[in-house]
């Protein structure tokens, strides 16, 4: 007997997928057979974590579950509400779908161990904006922010990003500070945890639900960076409600294709100010009567965000 059904992709390792039929959480193996191609996509992976799929399963027993010996077979990827793509930085222009059907992305950063790099964070935020995924910034390891210098940096950071319109949560996976608020924000949603290696994405999942046990790793003393402990995209379900996709620490990533006029549309505070620019479109660089530049000079838009923006124009070789 062949059973056709719907399920959600929880994990992908090599040639195998793990699926579950949400809201149930009982994982079973599945494989891809034959070709599933998304129309017009150059993505290297046709099926991503968070995808809803239809699958088939052959069994004489209607209540049997798929096993590694007799896995389900994925037939079709159902239309995605949204997705996030990582484009490779090399010239192949290949892209990899990180995750699909996300309600929110939590971008995890740390003031120290490792120290947050603002241009990198800003690119990540632009990526979320481009894909229409609401982003919230989670500052982890606030237990380490004891020196006046680190406190000052944290305050400044919060001012810059809440000023840009982003939610900023301060947490510590170690002491539990802020974890209840984060758990509440994750309830009944599918959230992505993203950020560089070593910021504590996996540790936070463990803090949110101690029954979960994603692998965590030390920070390299020599480089003050994480060691890329998490190597697969994987969904976890919190006992308190909601699912989280843990991700490998991001290394470099290629920017999504944006024209020079488009980039500023994905800096929410610049988009807002741009309605006051004399010219449309305005790149907010050399144009007279630019309201964005005026807002930067007035301290209403942070210099670091504006510099990230200029860096992105520059990098695309489009800045004049
Ligand atoms: N002091 C302190 N250390 C933390 C905190 N959260 C995590 N760590 C430590 O940071 C290190 C890295 O944590 P992970 O959870 O593996 O980091 P990750 O972001 O998942 O890293 P990758 O999987 O490599 O991307 C571990 O040694 C954790 O114990 C925190 O709130 N405070
Ligand atoms: Mg991890
Ligand atoms: Zn302008």
pLDDT band at 227 (very low <50, low <70, confident <90, very high): confident
Is the domain of 36 the same as that of 126?
no
Whether residues 122 and 149 fall in one domain: yes
Q: Taking Cα atoms as reference points, which of 67, 75, 24 lies closest to residue 51? A: 75
Q: Which of 221, 246, 271 represents a domain boundary (last residue)? A: 246
257 within some domain: no
| Average predicted confidence (pLDDT) for the chain | 91
> Same domain, yes or no, for 109 and 136?
yes
What's the gap in Å between 174 CA and the centre of ligand 1? 9
> Which amino acid residue places its CA nearest to atom 12 of ligand 1?
198
Ligand sitting nearest the alpha carbon of 140: 1
Last residue of a domain, one of 29, 62, 79: 79
Structural domain boundaries enclosing 298:
263-315
Domain containing residue 64: CATH number: 2.40.50.140
The full length of the chain comes to: 320
54 and 128 both lie in a single domain: no
Say yes or no: 65 and 140 in one domain.
no
> Which tokens hold the place of 48?
């991503």
CATH number for the domain harbouring residue 228: 3.40.50.300
For the entire predicted model, the pTM comes to 0.93
Count Cβ neighbours within 10 Å for each residue of 142-179 and write b for 16 or more, e otherwise.
beebeeeebeebbeebbebbeebebebbbbbbeeeebb
Q: What is the pLDDT of residues 58-117, one digit of tens each?
A: 888 888 899 999 999 999 999 999 999 887 666 666 778 889 999 999 999 999 999 999
For ligand 1, residues with CB inside 6 Å are 140-141, 143-144, 172-174, 197-203, 216-219, 226, 228-230, 248-249
Burial of 34 (0-12, 13-18, 19+ CB in 10 A): exposed
Protein residues within 5 Å, CB atom, of ion ligand 3: 277, 282, 284, 290, 292
Residue 194 and residue 107 share a domain = yes
For the CA of 228, the closest atom of ligand 1 is: 24
* Closest-lying ligand 1 atom to the alpha carbon of residue 144: 1
Do 180 and 75 fall within a single domain? no
CA distance 169 to 188: 19
Nearest protein CA to atom 7 of ligand 1, as residue: 200
Q: Among 4-8, 174-178, 183-187, 190-194, whose mean pLDDT is lowest?
A: 4-8
In ligand 1, the atom with minimum distance to the C-alpha of 216 is 16
């Amino acid at each position: 007997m062949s059973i056709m059904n719907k399920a959600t992709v929880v994990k992908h390792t090599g040639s195998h997928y793990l699926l579950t039929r949400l809201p149930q959480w009982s994982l079973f193996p599945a494989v891809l057979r034959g070709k599933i191609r998304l129309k017009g996509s150059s993505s290297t992976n046709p099926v991503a974590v968070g995808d809803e799929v239809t699958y088939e399963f052959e069994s004489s027993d209607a209540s049997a579950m798929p096993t590694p010996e007799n896995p389900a077979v994925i037939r079709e990827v159902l239309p995605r509400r949204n997705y996030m793509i990582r484009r490779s930085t090399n010239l192949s222009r290949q892209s990899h779908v990180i995750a699909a059907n996300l309600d929110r992305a939590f971008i995890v950063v740390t003031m120290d161990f490792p120290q947050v790099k603002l241009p990198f964070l800003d690119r990540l935020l632009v990526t979320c904006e481009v894909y229409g995924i609401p982003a919230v910034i989670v500052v982890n390891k606030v237990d380490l922010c004891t020196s006046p210098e680190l406190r000052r940096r944290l305050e400044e950071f919060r001012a810059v990003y809440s000023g840009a319109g982003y939610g900023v949560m301060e947490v510590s996976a170690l002491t539990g500070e802020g974890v209840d608020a984060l758990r509440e924000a994750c309830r009944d949603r599918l959230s992505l945890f993203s950020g560089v290696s070593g910021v504590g994405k996996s540790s936070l999942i463990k803090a949110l639900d101690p029954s979960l046990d994603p692998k965590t790793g030390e920070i390299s003393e020599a480089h003050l960076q994480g060691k890329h402990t998490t190597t697969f995209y994987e969904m976890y379900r919190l006992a308190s409600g909601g699912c989280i996709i843990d991700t490998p620490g991001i290394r470099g990533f290629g920017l999504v294709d944006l024209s020079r006029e488009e980039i500023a549309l994905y800096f929410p505070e610049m988009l807002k100010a741009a309605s006051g620019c004399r010219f449309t479109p305005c790149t907010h660089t050399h144009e007279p009567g630019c309201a964005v530049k005026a807002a930067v000079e007035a301290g209403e838009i942070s210099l670091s965000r504006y510099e990230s923006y200029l860096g992105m124009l520059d990098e695309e070789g489009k800045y004049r």
